[in-house]
Chains A and B, each alone.
Chain A
Amino acid sequence: MSEALNSDLWVDQYGDMLYRYTLVRVKNPDAAEEIVQVTLLAALQAKQSFQGRSTEKSWLFGILKHKILDHFRELKTRRTYELSPEDGSDPLENAYQSDGHWANAPKNWDTDPHKAVENKQLVAAMAQCMDRLSEKFRNIFVLKEIEGLTSEEICKEMNIKPTNLWVILHRARNQLRKCLETHNWDTKK
């Protein structure tokens, strides 16, 4: 009886938080929902092993992170990480003159990493730009930049050649850069 009460509480207290955290990473709402469910299921079954050394919340997030990684591992069997036309081109492919100098130099954004993360408009723009990446690019970018996996780990988990990984990340970053430049965000904010 008390177990049923607890699991209801978990959904009410942590459900939305777990869902939002997952949605940033996997983008697809149905997949995110599914991942939250398997996480809470696994937590319920592992309740005995929760020894109260961390908070309940960080324990649940620990399980969630594993389930998200499982999700990316599953995806790799269903898709190839070879480049395809749907991934788009490198926006900087023709950005240089024949002598290697910039033809269209990047404009200064008048911000820096510390200020940028405090700028709500810019953070929102980044979320939108990430959603515009191809699924393949978005997954790899998330694993590298958000989950913080090393290149070796990503190559191993997702079965990608290092050269492919490097091209994907480079192109994704350039696409994000270009996308952010087309958004409006006030640098004074």
Chain B
Amino acid sequence: MSWMIRRLRLTCEDTTPLISELMDHNLPWRKRWRLKFHLMICGVCSIYKQQLEIIHALARKLGHEEAPSQNEAVLSEQAKIKIKDTLKQSS
């Protein structure tokens, strides 16, 4: 049994790049299994994985159409006038 564990084992240093990579594309099944196995036994890498998931969720939140503006950014009155003029000229 221990030979299996030795072959499956990844270090934390091996694991963190794989966690990131998994967010971008599918991993070959062997890598996926080794990753899964490592995360089962390593609470620290699981924390890292959750943090990347949080970052992903925060990015999606910021990008949402109805996201409350962080700094109430608006088009300046000047910009609005300029855009209105440009639109009028083209029609």
Give A residues with C-beta under 8 Å from B: 3-4, 7-8, 10-12, 15-17, 19-21, 23-25, 29, 33, 36-37, 40-41, 44-45, 61, 92, 96, 99-102, 105-109, 111-114, 116-117, 120, 122-124, 126-127, 130, 141-142, 144-147, 150-151, 165-166, 169-170, 173-174, 176-177, 180
Closest residue of chain B to A125 (Cβ to Cβ) is B58
User: B90 → chain A, closest Cβ, in Å?
Assistant: 6
Decide: B51 and A106 in contact? CB cutoff 8 A: yes
Q: Interface on chain B toward A: helix, strand, loop, or mixed SS?
A: helix
Decide: B59 and A146 in contact? CB cutoff 8 A: yes
Interface residue from B44, B70, B86 paired with A102 (Cβ < 8 Å): B44
Residues facing A in B49-69 (CB within 8 A) are 50-63, 65, 67-69
Count residues of chain B with CB under 8 A from any CB of chain A.
46
B30: Cβ under 8 A from any A Cβ: no
Give B residues with C-beta under 8 Å from A: 11-14, 16-17, 20-21, 23-25, 44, 47-48, 50-63, 65, 67-70, 73-75, 79-80, 82-84, 86-88, 90-91
**Chain B residues, Cβ within 8 Å of A130:** 59, 62
**Chain A residues, Cβ within 8 Å of B50:** 109, 112-113
CA distance A20 to B12 in the complex (A): 39
**Chain B residues, Cβ within 8 Å of A144:** 24
Closest residue of chain B to A92 (Cβ to Cβ) is B16
The number of inter-chain residue pairs (CB within 8 angstroms) is 155
**Chain A residues, Cβ within 8 Å of B55:** 126, 145, 173, 176-177, 180
Closest 5 CB pairs of A and B: A100-B11, A146-B63, A113-B57, A7-B87, A145-B59
Decide: B62 and A146 in contact? CB cutoff 8 A: yes
Q: Apart from A44-B87, A145-B59, what are 9 other A-B pairs with CB-CB below 8 Å?
A: A7-B87, A10-B87, A12-B80, A17-B65, A36-B75, A37-B82, A109-B47, A177-B55, A180-B55
Decide: A23 and B24 in contact? CB cutoff 8 A: no
CA distance A12 to B84 in the complex (A): 9
